Amino acid sequence: MLQHLFDQLNYSEDDWQIMMCAHIRACEMLGVHPGYYEHKDRLARTIMKLFDKGGRDLEIIASIVAHRESIMVRLLSTRH
Please provide residue 29's backbone torsions phi and psi, each rounded to the nearest 5 degrees. Answer: -65, -35
pLDDT band of residue 50 (cuts 50, 70, 90) is very high
List the one residue out of 26, 52, 57, 29 whose CA is nearest residue 40. Answer: 26
Is residue 18 classed as helix, strand or coil in its secondary structure? helix
Q: State pTM to two decimals.
A: 0.84
pLDDT per residue over 4-13, tens digit each?
Answer: 555 556 899 9
